[in-house]
Amino acid sequence: MLLAAAIGYLWLPRADVSLPLVEDCRLDRQACASTLPGGGRVVVALEPMTGATASPLRVSVSISGTQADRVEIGFQGVDMNMGLHVLPLAAVGEGRFVGETTLPVCVTGRMIWQATVLLEVGRKDISVPFRFESGHE
């Protein structure tokens, strides 16, 4: 019976949970947070916050109140198609994940990006979108 239950669990589809855009916070100005379904909280920070283009961008995600098995962050241009760039984040401690990337340079100088944190929590894939501006120094 246990084997049948385990196989059934693995074959069940994963639940996709998309949270609304965190509109009252911009990552180029401060760390931003969102409440997760069922309790818990995710906090995202970018460094440097100036959003300088062609410079390494350090991403930090902290999760409390729940445990994530995997954390990634996807970057997409809002007003201009710059493709989708997904960065897997490495666990560096209890509930803390980090990574570093460089975003494409926009020829207009300024660019609004959507950074979507992708969390794998048990059988759920949770996505939490945030916005920020790059290209200003």
Q: Domain range holding 70?
A: 14-134
Is 6 domain-assigned?
no
Question: What does the pLDDT look like over 70-105, one tens digit per residue?
Answer: 999 999 988 888 778 899 999 998 999 999 998 876
Predicted confidence at residue 107, as pLDDT, reads: 64
Predicted confidence at residue 17, as pLDDT, reads: 87
pTM of the prediction?
0.82
Question: What does the pLDDT look like over 43-75, one tens digit per residue?
Answer: 999 988 655 556 788 999 999 999 999 999 999
Predicted confidence at residue 23, as pLDDT, reads: 85
What is the count of structural domains for the chain? 1
Domain of 103, CATH number, reads 2.60.40.1930
Q: Per residue, what are the HEC states of 13-61? A: CCEEEECCCCCCCECCCCCEEEECCCCCEEEEEEECCCCCCCCCEEEEE
Dihedral in degrees, nearest 10, Cα atoms 90, 35, 45, 53: 100
* Percent residues over pLDDT 90 in the chain: 47
